[in-house]
Amino acid sequence: MTYSGEKSQTNGSISDKILEKISAFPSMPKAGIKLRALLSEKDASVDQIEKILRHDPGLAANIFRLANSPFFGMPSKVTSLKQAVVLLGFDRLSKIAVAASANKIMSAAVEGYGLSPGDLWLHSIAVSTTAEALAKNRKLDSNHDFYTPALLHDLGKLALGQFVKAKQEKIDSLIEIGVPVVFAEKEVLKTDHADIGARILIKWSFPDDIIRAVRWHHNPDGLEKTSLYADIVYLANLMCQSKNGGSDDQEFNRPYSSVLERLQITPEQYEALADKARDWMDKLSDTLTFD
């Protein structure tokens, strides 16, 4: 397993049980894949899109729920599939479709990380929204897809959670002396959730830029060639960190100066953006509920 452009990589020391867990990890829902593919076509019609959604009520329901959240800024309540397609537009609908599809996989509780049902997905939505806002704030090319890697950055926690739980005492002992969570995972398990997430995205045939951003979302300086995607996801993730999301305040308070310099963000600007991100996350938490 390799990731182009990295300084170091996890070798064959990962246990067979973890590798088996990756192999057995579910695929993205078929309806979500079909919808994204259709939305990328220039001649896609509203009727074609509506037909796909009607064949997956769960996906349609999640699209309604997200479309009516404050994050997508719709001027009025979206009440029908056709209205959702017309009002949201193909680009925004494509992003919501990714989020809605991921919800089916990421809304469960995550053992080992202390995440209740919906916590991981809520954090992921907040990070993806923050990543887009950060890119817009820095006037970055709108053709870049920062939303998807930000949404999927913690996907690996779903596969690694049971192994973290099994070694919780050892991992916690490292965290207690100041070792960041992701490095504690690597020390004990010989891998971490960022690496596992990247491996899952390779299985799902995602583009290299997205895979690298997920792999290095805790350490973008680990890449030999800097990645705008990794920088944005790294910073957006830090901005949305909270104890409830399984993070630590030390990491939250110390963004890499190298990343801030590359994105031309001052520490003061970072703090202001982080305050907004936490406010957005609170509002999203009030809007979205989970069973």
Q: What is the pLDDT of residues 247-269, one digit of tens each?
A: 444 444 579 999 999 999 999 99
Residue 4 resides in a domain: no
Looking at the structure, tell me whether residues 164 and 90 fall in a common domain: no
Residue 7 resides in a domain: no
- What string of H, E and C letters represents the secondary structure of 110-123? ECCCCECCCHHHHH
Q: Which SS3 state, helix, strand or coil, does residue 150 take? A: helix
What does the pLDDT read at residue 286? 62
Tell me how many helices (H) and strands (E) the chain has: 16, 0
Contact in structure between 265 and 160 (CB atoms under 8 Å): no
Q: Is the dihedral of CA 262, 266, 272, 275 positive or negative?
A: positive
Residue 15 resides in a domain: no
- pTM: predicted TM-score of the whole model, two decimal places: 0.80
Looking at the structure, tell me whether residues 167 and 210 fall in a common domain: yes
Residue 72, CA atoms < 13 Å, CB-side half-sphere: 26
Using the 3D structure, point to which of 89, 106, 123 is the last residue of a domain. Answer: 106
What does the pLDDT read at residue 250? 47
Looking at mean pLDDT, say which of 32-36, 41-45, 242-246 comes out highest.
Answer: 41-45
What does the pLDDT read at residue 251? 47
- How buried is residue 65: exposed, middle or buried, by Cβ count under 10 Å (0-12/13-18/19+)? middle
Average pLDDT, the chain: 82
What does the pLDDT read at residue 253? 57
What does the pLDDT read at residue 73? 66
Residue 11 resides in a domain: no
Beta partners for residue 115, in sequence order: 110
Q: Tell me: the pLDDT tens digits for 9-39?
A: 444 578 999 999 999 998 877 777 788 778 7
Using the 3D structure, point to which of 56, 80, 106 is the last residue of a domain. Answer: 106
Residue 14 resides in a domain: no
Residue 13 resides in a domain: no
Looking at the structure, tell me whether residues 195 and 279 fall in a common domain: yes
Q: Tell me: the pLDDT tens digits for 140-171?
A: 877 788 988 999 999 999 999 999 999 999 99
What does the pLDDT read at residue 288? 54
Domain count, the chain: 2
Residue 247 resides in a domain: yes
Residue 12 resides in a domain: no
Using the 3D structure, point to which of 106, 139, 154 is the last residue of a domain. Answer: 106
Backbone angles phi, psi at 144, to 5 degrees: -75, 140
Looking at the structure, tell me whether residues 94 and 126 fall in a common domain: no
The helix (H) or strand (E) run that includes residue 23 is: helix 16-23
Domain coverage including residue 102: 27-106
What does the pLDDT read at residue 74? 67
Q: Which amino acid is at 151?
A: L
What does the pLDDT read at residue 248? 44
Looking at the structure, tell me whether residues 261 and 156 fall in a common domain: yes
Residue 51, CA atoms < 13 Å, CB-side half-sphere: 8
Looking at the structure, tell me whether residues 261 and 136 fall in a common domain: yes
